[in-house]
Chain A
């Protein structure tokens, strides 16, 4: 039912505003960060140096993952507000299909995020590395892109769960912000590092580690963070859990 979801999404002006804002902010930040001078040295060369540029781009893109998450919340809660979930069920779809349709939207948004990073990477890779060819720009792109995609899908999955639970856009967005910025950080404060690294947002953020993580580890000792591949397994688990809980909510509650 991808076609049906596209019928709803493509004419939705808010969706385009948010997605273009995401891409524009990413491009502007990457362009702007290159011009930042630290101790008399411009970051540009280090930021755009291949193949490490992709991991840095993925890290920067991670700062904007909440934007597509807000969009997904709006897309889902609109269905409750307009009672179109109810109507589609009456028209002959199933509750499981309603959820799969939204999973498809989440995957589409993930694809948009990855595509934005890819385009930004190709553009800055080619223009800021005079000797670069398309082949060596792409070299090393796959893993950071996939990890970023998984991180974004993770944020989207949490957003979808909150939207299905709360059913109203503003409270669901506030709940997401509270969880990401306040609740999980508070929980982390009381938990040892060995445990809190398995919490959803922390594990997902480890998929795109800070470019300075290695330096910090050298200076302050090992942080106990999960390696991106380990974090990927944890994140995948949370993605699956969120959608399973979402399915449970849709299946058991009245529409």
Chain B
């Protein structure tokens, strides 16, 4: 059975004058996933989320949450931190959260719990104007957590955080995901996304270049490394590989070893069988899964 979709974007487009910030973007976020929206700065991630959250008007296309058009009531089921933390600087952390809690119909206990979660309980009565960017970011996370949202939308949530803060946010995301919450995480920090996300969408120049479960995105470009047994002719291997339609991007090293990628649906075992049928016996065969960073760079370069 297909997983329930929490957010569905259909041919979303946003133009600012002649600038096409988002173009024909279609994606869906399954319930319970940690969906990483990846892309370099200016790729359209924040604009996409801004439209999804109703603060920006789309030039074309639609966004729907829980199968409904965005509305105040659907937004109350979502906790979101978009771009920068937005607070009244002259109010204390708690007073700012009380404003969000009024809207989300959350209680005082909820505010206290959120402040505890982000480690700001002991600074809650201080005005936000005295907070560092990292503290504001934590407060924005606390605000997003109010009202027990089903979905969290976090746009660059680790901006301004120190390494401990980044680790805390990562742990928080994993904990919330384990509780069954859907999390949409926009980031240009690939390591961050690879560590926490189950799904990923790669954006570049306002377009979605690749999307799917992290495993499938990476598996699509698994590199296979192989070396022939002693006495075999490297030319025979090159000829055999060239004749196999499911083999791509063959790179031959001076040592005679090769690395290559396989078409979707083919495994290293399929390659071994095909070469063996051609009378070639391999001394070494291994598969290497590239990092998300390498894959991301590849997608961006190809686009």
Contacts and interface: CB of A to CB of B under 8 A. Distances in A.
A13 B89 CA distance: 12
Nearest to A87: B86
Nearest to B76: A92
Given A3-B102, A4-B103, A93-B72, A84 B87 contact: yes
A interface majority secondary structure: helix
Interface string B90-120: 1100010011101110000000000000000
B149 to A, nearest CB: 9
Interface stretch (B36-44, B52-60, B264-272): B52-60
B100 A87 contact: yes
Contacts of B78: 90, 92
Contact of B100 (A83, A91, A97): A91
A80 to B, nearest CB: 11
Interface in A1-46: 1, 3-4, 7-8, 11-13
B75 interface: yes
Contact of B75 (A83, A84, A90, A253): A90
Interface in B47-90: 50, 53-57, 71-73, 75-76, 78, 80, 82, 84, 86-90
A254 interface: yes
Contacts of A93: 72, 103
A86 B55 contact: yes
A88 interface: yes
A88 B50 CA distance: 13
B88 A82 contact: yes
Nearest to A254: B56
A215 B100 CA distance: 56
B72 A90 contact: no
Interface centre among A13, A90, A97 (most CB of B within 10 A): A90
B143 interface: yes
A9 to B, nearest CB: 11
Interface in A85-135: 86-94, 97
B76 A82 contact: no
A218 interface: no
Contacts of A253: 57
A84 B55 contact: no
Given A89-B54, A89-B55, A11 B103 contact: no
B82 A90 contact: yes
Contact of A94 (B57, B72, B88, B102): B72
A255 interface: yes
A56 B53 CA distance: 51
A78 interface: yes
Contacts of B95: 7, 11
B102 A89 contact: no
B65 to A, nearest CB: 12
Given A3-B102, A11-B95, A93-B103, A86 B88 contact: no
A12 B90 contact: yes
B87 A92 contact: no
Contacts of A84: 86-88, 99
A61 B104 CA distance: 40
Given A7-B95, A13-B90, A88 B103 contact: yes
Given A82-B88, A97-B72, A252-B57, A92 B99 contact: no
Contacts of B80: 90-91
B90 A7 contact: no
B227 to A, nearest CB: 55
B73 A92 contact: yes
Contacts of A255: 55-56
B105 to A, nearest CB: 8
A97 B54 CA distance: 14
A252 B50 CA distance: 15
A93 B99 CA distance: 11
Contact of A91 (B57, B88, B143): B143
Contacts of A82: 86-89
B55 A91 contact: no
B99 A88 contact: yes
Contacts of A4: 99, 102-103
Contact of A90 (B55, B89, B102): B55
Interface string A225-255: 0000000000000000000000000001111
A254 B55 contact: yes
B292 to A, nearest CB: 28
B90 A11 contact: yes
5 contacts: A3-B102, A7-B102, A13-B90, A88-B99, A90-B80
Interface of B: 50, 53-57, 71-73, 75-76, 78, 80, 82, 84, 86-91, 95, 98-100, 102-104, 143, 146-147
Given A4-B99, A90-B80, A92-B72, 7 more contacts: A4-B102, A7-B102, A87-B100, A87-B143, A89-B54, A90-B82, A93-B72
